[in-house]
Amino acid sequence: MIKSAIYQDLLDAADVVDSLPNIVGKYKRTSDPSIKYNCLAHAVGVDWGWFEPPNHLPGYYWPPGIDAEWNDKTIKEVLSRFGYKELADGSDLEEGYDKIAVYGDTEGPTHFARQLPNGSWSSKLGELIDVQHDTLECLFGADHYGEILYYVKRKSVQSK
């Protein structure tokens, strides 16, 4: 069993490095692979559902009353539902606030990274692992993530 776990670790690490060339040597694995939640759920602090329309499939969640479409407007509504407000620039650590960096391309949001209390960032990489990374730029270079579109923040749930 240990051998298979080590082998799986190597496969997961290879997948991360292959899909994100700028992250080599700049990340720390923080979870096992999981299909229970995705990067949007992870960013808002949820590990019980894959946030993506439609919400009628088992394991999927989409907030009621928000159009079942994945686009910038609906993503902003989802983030707002969890208490987040958009910022022009928000990469600096602000004590007492939770922050999310929203990555995307010309078609809209593609990935979400949550800032940790130590100033580093946490990302769920699709069905793979969660990783802690020191910079947002180490996810650049991946065709499927794009660049930072905007940041959102809310009063920290720990400080309430």
Residues 6+ positions from 107 with CB-CB distance below 8 Å: none
- Which pLDDT score, from 0 to 100, does residue 127 have? 86
- Which pLDDT score, from 0 to 100, does residue 9 have? 56
Say how many C-beta atoms besides its own lie within 10 A of residue 80's C-beta: 15
Q: How many angstroms separate the CA atoms of 23 and 72, rounded?
A: 26
All residue ranges of the chain with pLDDT < 70 are: 1-14, 55, 142-143, 158-160
Question: CB of 32 within 8 A of CB of 125?
Answer: no
pTM for the full predicted model: 0.88
Q: Domain ranges for the chain, please list them.
A: 2-155
One-letter amino acid identity for 66? I
- Which pLDDT score, from 0 to 100, does residue 143 have? 67
